[in-house]
Amino acid sequence: MKIAIGADHGGYSHKEAIRAHLVKRGFEVKDFGTYSEDSVDYNDYAKLVAESVRDNKYDRGILVCGTGIGMSVMANKVSGIRAALVHDLFTAEATRLHNNTNVLAMGGRVIKESLALQIVDIWIDTKFSNEERHIRRIAKIDSYKGE
């Protein structure tokens, strides 16, 4: 599995730990930045990661900012992206099992690094259920173009 990862200054530390963790697990990881704790705009990194997933260059994306909110909002603006903001183990599993999310967003100022790594593992390892009701609901999400 190929994973794209990105963060702003508020998520930089967690991103570095997640990147190292994923590499240790044997995944191919592309780090889209940021590369320090200097202030940057989260939007730019969310867009890069989400577009790389949309374009099938990477299988999934992981984003970390201070709260995860901005990253998830921005990623969901990209067609074909189903990003979920996750801060606990239950939703890490449910968002893959039921929603087949392809981008995970977390808040570096909201959760501890150790929990972030557990969330990543669950999110990566959980397969989509392929249940008809979930397939139908995802199709509705993917077909909606807004007004």
Q: Which of 58, 125, 54, 57 is nearest to 89 (CA)?
A: 125
The catalytic position among 9, 21, 87, 98 is 98
Q: How far apart are CA 17 and CA 62, in angstroms?
A: 12
The answer to whether 21 is a known catalytic residue is no
The answer to whether 87 is a known catalytic residue is no
Number of CB atoms found within 10 A of residue 67's CB? 19
The catalytic position among 14, 65, 87, 134 is 65
Q: How far apart are CA 24 and CA 133, in angstroms?
A: 36
Query: With contact defined as beta carbons under 8 Å apart, do 84 and 95 qualify?
Result: yes
Annotated catalytic sites, by residue? 65, 98
